[in-house]
Amino acid sequence: NAGVTQTPKFQVLKTGQSMTLQCAQDMNHEYMSWYRQDPGMGLRLIHYSVGAGITDQGEVPNGYNVSRSTTEDFPLRLLSAAPSQTSVYFCASSRDQNTEAFFGQGTRLTVV
Amino acid sequence: RKEVEQDPGPFNVPEGATVAFNCTYSNSASQSFFWYRQDCRKEPKLLMSVYSSGNEDGRFTAQLNRASQYISLLIRDSKLSDSATYLCVVKRPGGGNKLTFGTGTQLKVEL
């Protein structure tokens, strides 16, 4: 019963580098989302998906891309990392739009 | 004004105390309401959903007042293990499970 799995758990990037944060869920959930959590702020929605092939922007999408080629996977791509993207990133999934969201353990990203 | 506002605390209470957290939200069209718990350096986990009629789960009671756009969480007989940050969460109108999070209220239960 893995639930939502994120990799890596920790990452340090240099400014301008690109990388992909991986997220996979084994609960056959249609809805998946990416959030970032910064000190003094609530989790903020970056991108979300309501099913394979369908993605949309959240409130802080700039600098990030997503794709949803399968129900299970929802990777988040940083195209050119900036220090402002230093944060803790959480992936979440839910069965539908009104039910509990299950979160991965998070990825702590530092951009230097 | 933030979409979801909470008192950040910390609330330091003795074991066995009753403690209440409040939360206000700004979007009157918000559809679903939750309390999540987040332990230090861990992911958020659902504590309980909040229903219009109010609901209880053991020592935890949640209330929703749609007219005042206000949500509350009451914890009775606090345990050391209740120490955590409690996140007030509101689902935004529209498609997708788009959640808006408060910044969280930190609870420390002490001996």
Put simply, whether A77 touches B (Cβ < 8 Å) is: no
- Hey, are the CB atoms on B34 and A40 less than 8 Å from each other? no
pLDDT digits (tens, 9 = 90+) for A51-98: 999 999 999 999 999 999 999 999 999 999 999 999 999 999 999 887
A101 contacts B97? CB cut-off 8 A: yes
Residue of B nearest to A89 (CA): B43
> What is the pLDDT, as a whole number, of residue B24?
97
CA-based nearest residue in chain A for residue B91: A98
Tens-digit pLDDT profile for residues A17-40: 999 999 999 999 999 999 999 998
SS (H, E, C) chain A: CCCEEEECCEEEECCCCCEEEEEEECCCCCEEEEEEECCCCCCEEEEEEEECCEEEECCCCCCEEECCCCCCECCEEECCCCHHHCEEEEEEEECCCCCCCEECCCEEEEEC
User: Which chain A residues are Cβ-neighbours of B44 within 8 angstroms?
Assistant: 43, 90, 103
Question: pLDDT for B30-89, tens place per residue?
Answer: 889 999 999 999 999 999 999 988 999 999 999 999 999 999 999 999 999 999 999 999
